[in-house]
Amino acid sequence: MPQGPVDAVAEAIDLVKVYGEGENQVVALNRVNVRFQRGSFTAIMGPSGSGKSTLMHCLAGLDRITDGRVILGGQELQSMMDAQLTRVRRDRIGFIFQSFNLLPTLTAEQNIVLPLDLAGKKADRAYLAQLADSLGLADRLTHRPSELSGGQQQRVAIARALITRPEVIFADEPTGALDTRTGTRLLEFLQQSSRVHGQSIIMVTHDPKAAAYADRALVLVDGRIVDDIQRPTVDSVNAAMARLEA
């Protein structure tokens, strides 16, 4: 591990991300410094356009950074060759995107285990059953995406991101399209994944109730971290959001 007492699974140092050029430049991240402790569950909050998705993409090596450094699993992202980065992403990272790209000709189960198939590995049947159960998909595994509702398709995409038991799970508003009951089950599942299995979770959310499942909540505004709340509660998160409007 690079420095300090914290076992960091991901770290950004003076991270800057600028989109576009000249007059169209947008500074999406403006010198972000943050460390994510291994095994912890962090929520990222902030207004729309504040840089939440950009931060996740930069941390996961899905987007090129403009300046600063990103360290993932003890390794400097910029120093990794493309093949190495692809391997790190495949073997150690799960990404739950806002959009889900399921393969239409595969069943739900085949979509879920696809990352394992691609890596030439076998699915752990017990874990697959547990995932399907937690996500309310147990009786939908043989259906194709066209036979599933939008929310069910999203849950298949979530299961697909988790099936490899990645060290780090990045989730961009994973409960956004889910009903309350399914959303709660997913949050409980993510919390258990960090507490019981030591997986690290970094989750963007707009919902203070969702953030309260995390160990820590960061608040981004205009590409900067303006708040860092330990053991967030609905009240402490609401208070932080109210401070933004003051």
Spatial strand order in the sheet of 75-76: 26-37, 8-19, 67-72, 75-76
Spatial strand order in the sheet of 93-96: 93-96, 168-172, 200-204, 41-45, 216-221, 224-230
| 194 makes contact with Mg ion (CB under 5 A) | no
Stretch that binds ligand ADP, among 3-11, 45-53, 136-144, 153-161 (CB under 6 A): 45-53
Q: What is the CA radius of gyration of the chain?
A: 18
| 20 makes contact with ligand ADP (CB under 6 A) | yes
| 51 makes contact with ligand ADP (CB under 6 A) | yes
| 48 makes contact with ligand ADP (CB under 6 A) | yes
Stretch that binds Mg ion, among 26-34, 48-56, 116-124, 163-171 (CB under 5 A): 48-56
Distance CA 193, CA 187 (A): 10
Smaller CB distance to Mg ion: residue 57 or 155?
Answer: 57
What binding mask, one character per residue, do residues 52-91 give for Mg ion by CB under 5 A, x or -? xx--------------------------------------
| 50 makes contact with ligand ADP (CB under 6 A) | yes
Considering only residues 127 to 186 of the shown chain, the ones binding ligand ADP according to CB under 6 A are none
Distance CA 29, CA 3 (A): 23
49: number of Cβ within 10 Å: 14
How near is the Cβ of 120 to ligand ADP at its closest, in Å? 33
How near is the Cβ of 49 to ligand ADP at its closest, in Å? 4
Structure tokens belonging to residue 173: 């508003």
Burial of 241 (C-beta count, 10 Å sphere; 0-12/13-18/19+): middle
Stretch that binds Mg ion, among 44-52, 64-72, 129-137, 151-159 (CB under 5 A): 44-52
Three-state secondary-structure class, residue 84: helix
Burial of 145 (C-beta count, 10 Å sphere; 0-12/13-18/19+): buried
Instruction: Give the one entry of ligand ADP, Mg ion, none that residue 73 binds, where binding means its C-beta sits below a cut-off of 5 to 8 angstroms depending on kind.
Output: none
Task: Point out which residues bind Mg ion (CB under 5 A).
Answer: 52-53
Task: Point out which residues bind ligand ADP (CB under 6 A).
Answer: 19-20, 26, 28, 46, 48-54
